[in-house]
Amino acid sequence: MTFEPYVPIANHPVTDLSIRVQNLEAALAVSMNLLQSLAEKLESRLGPGFLGVELEQFAAIGRQSAEQVAEIDRLVKENQQPAAARVIREMSGVTWDQAHYITNRWTSLQFQQKVRWLQLNQLAYQASAVASESE
């Protein structure tokens, strides 16, 4: 993905919403990677349990996402779309319709896009679960 700076001038070609969203996704991905790296380093230096449950889960998402994407890739390549949709649904909390939609378009995404999407959805899914538990 190439970076195109956002120019806040009406009718400028770079004000295109899709470019702005791509830039925001890229910035968020870099931020998440840095935070996950920091959490992993803190945990390795200060020991298990130091981070607390939420940060431990955050660090785990970073470690597991690439493996989970590889598993979904394998299922899709083996034409096991229903199984791939189930895994996507379980990992990200999307609806069945959304899981099938994603599965049908899975091969059009690059590996890092898949990892980033899965990480973001898992974080949002976990955050909503934590919020529900605290109510």
pLDDT at 15: 59
DSSP letter for 15, please: G
Whether residue 107 is contained in a domain is answered as yes
Tell me how many domains the chain contains.
Answer: 1
Contact (Cβ atoms closer than 8 angstroms) between residue 87 and residue 68: yes
pTM of the model: 0.67
Do the domain assignments include residue 21? Answer: yes
What is the tens place of the pLDDT at every residue in 28-47?
878 877 887 888 888 888 88
pLDDT of residue 76: 96
Higher per-residue pLDDT: 21 or 73? 73
* Residue 1 falls inside a structural domain: no
* Residue 128 confidence class, pLDDT cut points 50, 70, 90: confident
Q: What DSSP designation does 39 have?
A: H
Q: Is residue 3 part of a domain?
A: no
| SS3 state at 80 | coil
Average pLDDT over all residues of the chain:
81
Residue 5 falls inside a structural domain = no
pLDDT at 12 over 60: no
What are 10's two structure tokens?
Answer: 């009406």
Question: Is 8 part of any domain?
Answer: no
At position 61, the amino acid (one-letter code) is I
Domain that holds residue 126: 13-134
Give the containing element (helix H, strand E) for 112.
Answer: helix 111-134
In 3D space, the residue among 93, 98, 86, 96 whose CA is nearest the CA of residue 127 turns out to be 93
